[in-house]
């Protein structure tokens, strides 16, 4: 009896593995096609200045709607893209769209804001990243100082010796660098001084239980202080409530990216938001 149950649950486990790997296979095939057909969307999540309530920048976030699968979250398709190498083309695609859109907002006379774009470690290793980046800036005519690239600590897990000079070259182009999801990785704090970062983004896992969780409050306050001591801009991700906003802004952190203000929205919606802001 016991044996049969065991075998039964093993079979169940096997089925689940097969289902998972089949979904990944189908995702990667569909994602490749979506990229070729330019079906991938880029949405923009505003970053607000808590002091004056104005948009000071946006983060470009990939969005994908598939006919059969519906909306697939980046939390699912980005890891698949990274594992298959599709991320290199996906990254170029998002970067190009983001730069073109930001440049067109300037041409329309909308107020200048920063454009933040996520870059995976894989993209840096792929080679010629600097060349593709500077070509993209040239084509779009976006001023370099309005572009910020977001990287996570995973950049340093492997081949740290290659990553550091590359990031310095990016800085030499005049592009800004942000460290994303700060506090969730496993690397040491030493990379904070090895790279000329401009911005530190506090991961939303630190914010979620503020103000109830004392430890989260202390950690967040300490990270804000440390970042300011290092002369970094601080962006707080995942602010959803007034209490969270009050907590972080009282501790001196003024740039807020979270559902409290807005989720990622379509380009047209963002343009309307910027237009309303500039005419107010």
Instruction: Give the Cα separation of 142 and 23 in Å (integer).
Output: 38
Q: Contact with ligand C2E (CB under 6 A): which of 114, 220, 258, 274? A: 258
- From the list 72-80, 130-138, 154-162, 269-277, the region that binds ligand C2E by CB under 6 A is 72-80
Q: Contact with ligand C2E (CB under 6 A): which of 34, 94, 99, 136? A: 94
Residue 181 touching ligand C2E (CB under 6 A): yes
Q: Contact with ligand C2E (CB under 6 A): which of 74, 112, 183, 185? A: 74
How do strand 114-118 and strand 147-151 relate by DSSP bridges? parallel
Residue 176 touching ligand C2E (CB under 6 A): no
Instruction: Give the Cα separation of 135 and 129 in Å (integer).
Output: 10
Q: What are 47's strand-pairing partners?
A: 57
Q: Contact with ligand C2E (CB under 6 A): which of 75, 161, 165, 268? A: 75
Helices (H), 173-240: 191-194, 214-229
How do strand 199-202 and strand 176-182 relate by DSSP bridges? parallel
Work out the widest C-alpha separation in the chain, in whole angstroms. Answer: 75
Residue 181 touching Mg ion (CB under 5 A): yes
Q: How far is the CB of 259 from ligand C2E (least distance, A)?
A: 4
- From the list 68-76, 102-110, 166-174, 210-218, the region that binds ligand C2E by CB under 6 A is 68-76
DSSP 265: B
Helices (H), 57-141: 74-84, 87-107, 121-125, 129-140
Among residues 93, 74, 71, 70, which one has the least CA distance to residue 82?
74
- From the list 83-91, 141-149, 174-182, 263-271, the region that binds Mg ion by CB under 5 A is 174-182
Interacting residues with ligand C2E (CB under 6 A): 45, 61-62, 73-75, 78, 91, 94, 118, 120, 150, 180-181, 204, 237-240, 257-259, 263-264
Interacting residues with Mg ion (CB under 5 A): 118, 150, 180-181, 237
């Amino acid at each position: 009896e016991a044996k049969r149950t065991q075998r039964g649950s093993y079979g169940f486990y096997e089925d689940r593995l097969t289902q998972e790997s089949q979904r990944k296979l189908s995702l990667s095939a569909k994602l490749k096609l979506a990229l070729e057909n330019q079906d991938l969307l880029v949405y923009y999540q505003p970053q607000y200045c808590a002091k004056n309530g104005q948009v000071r920048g946006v983060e470009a976030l990939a969005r994908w709607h598939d006919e059969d699968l519906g909306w697939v979250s980046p939390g699912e398709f980005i890891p698949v893209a990274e594992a298959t190498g599709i991320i290199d083309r996906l990254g170029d695609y998002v970067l190009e769209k983001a730069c073109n859109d930001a440049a067109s907002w300037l041409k329309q006379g909308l107020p200048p804001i920063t454009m933040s774009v996520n870059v995976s470690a894989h993209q840096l290793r792929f080679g010629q990243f600097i060349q593709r980046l500077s070509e993209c800036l040239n084509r779009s005519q976006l001023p370099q100082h309005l572009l910020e690239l977001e990287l996570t600590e995973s950049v340093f897990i492997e081949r740290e010796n290659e990553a550091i000079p590359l990031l310095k070259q990016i800085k030499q182009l005049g592009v800004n660098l942000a460290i994303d999801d700060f506090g969730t990785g496993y690397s040491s704090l030493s990379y904070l001084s090895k790279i000329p970062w401009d911005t530190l983004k506090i991961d939303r896992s630190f914010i979620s239980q503020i103000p109830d969780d004392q430890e989260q409050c202390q950690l967040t306050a300490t990270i804000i202080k440390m970042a300011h001591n290092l002369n970094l801009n601080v962006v707080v991700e995942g602010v959803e409530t007034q209490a969270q906003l009050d907590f972080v802004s009282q501790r001196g952190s003024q740039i807020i990216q979270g559902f409290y203000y807005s989720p990622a929205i379509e380009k047209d919606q963002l343009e309307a938001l910027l237009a309303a802001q500039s005419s107010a």
